[in-house]
Structure 1
């Protein structure tokens, strides 16, 4: 028998109604235009953390930002979910920019530093652990209280590299499609984005941007 009691999420449905009413009042054509087409210029690859709402952070409306999120903003070449989002964004939506966005105080990054065990997710966080091991020489020079911030930045740098090395982005560059990849880290304490990887516009720039980004981490934390 179907449950006839009030929905435990009725307050969220009420919030939605109020939001839709406010939006209609300010722009009666908003939902009509939104339903007909999405035409974002940006793909945001970020963390699933509930404190990092993509659209709000960069002050963009629905339809202006294509979003993929997972724990610790990881991009790996075996993740068909992330790769499918990237392919659709690049080849169908023709976005101009891909932003890999981590955040300071990331629980996944901290779990790697603490060698914490949570079960299934440990397999996913192995990708972040690989970043830590790759840059262990840097991490060891950083004070304990700043290691999480440093690893958050290193993780973004490596994920930007993975994005650029994907066949999706490389094929786009080879056919002359304008596409720029960025690496940012968001500050929960101040709401500001910190650019840790300068804009990468082609494969020739990748190595230089990668080395420059690693040097930046060294200068900030070591």
Structure 2
């Protein structure tokens, strides 16, 4: 409570209109999709409260059937009208490390199956990396690419992309330096296979 009071006072002193503005509603420009790891978060882009809509889970996964992720994306895109979606993984990710192994972890195994799909898809590339840390960090990057593709295949995002009102980025946060770096996301060769149309919309194969 003491730390909160001190923080609120500092924020109000630096930005007198901030809390009054936020009390009227939110209008963030960014949806941040990140990992639940305590060392990482949207704080690394140094924006004020009210600037970033946030969704975090273990290993920053965006599974197709996860209602929480889908709800966050739909609300952010359709209601809040965010202009940027950032999928940010981080090096030294415990979820990625667990997915590289085969130890049973109980309920967590069901969640990490999505990350093991990424591992299986790139098993030859990962197996060729001798250094365990480098292998882990490469899986982190490959997972970011996979999750960016997942996000871009979601119906609200597909529509927003068609309208040119949103962009989706992949990034990785380095816990050892505090810096983030962009991840090059190659074209999704399967993108067209995920397009769906409303019943009243004409389309050709």
**TM class by shorter-chain length?**
0.7 to 0.9
The corresponding residue for 1:93 is 80
Distance in 1 separating the partners of 2:181 and 2:152: 20
| Contact preservation (8 Å) 1:164, 1:206 | no
**How many residues get paired?**
190
CA RMSD across the alignment: 1.8
Runs of 4+ deviating beyond 3 Å: 205-208
Written as runs of structure 1 = structure 2, the 5 A alignment for 1:86-125 is: 86-125=73-112
The corresponding residue for 1:45 is 33
| Aligned pair partner of 2:22 in 13, 28, 34 | 34
The corresponding residue for 1:16 is 4
Q: What TM-score does the superposition give when structure 1 sets the normalisation length?
A: 0.81
1:166 deviation in Å?
1.1
Written as runs of structure 1 = structure 2, the 5 A alignment for 1:192-207 is: 192-198=179-185, 206-207=188-189
1:24-58 CA distance string (max 9 Å, x none): 2223322111111211111011000010021x200
1:19 deviation in Å?
0.8
1:117 deviation in Å?
2.2
Matched residue SS, 1:62: coil
Larger deviation, residues 182-191 vs 18-27: 18-27
| Contact preservation (8 Å) 2:34, 2:41 | no
Q: Which structure 2 residue ranges, 5 or more long, are not aligned?
A: 191-205
| Aligned pair partner of 1:71 in 58, 69, 79 | 58
1:182-212 CA distance string (max 9 Å, x none): 10111001111121135x9xxxx5449xxxx
Written as runs of structure 1 = structure 2, the 5 A alignment for 1:119-198 is: 119-145=106-132, 146-174=134-162, 176-198=163-185
Distance in 2 separating the partners of 1:90 and 1:124: 25
| Contact preservation (8 Å) 2:161, 2:167 | no
Larger deviation, residues 17-26 vs 95-104: 17-26
Distance in 2 separating the partners of 1:27 and 1:127: 42
1:64-109 CA distance string (max 9 Å, x none): 0110000000011100101110001101111111111000000000
| Contact preservation (8 Å) 2:96, 2:140 | yes
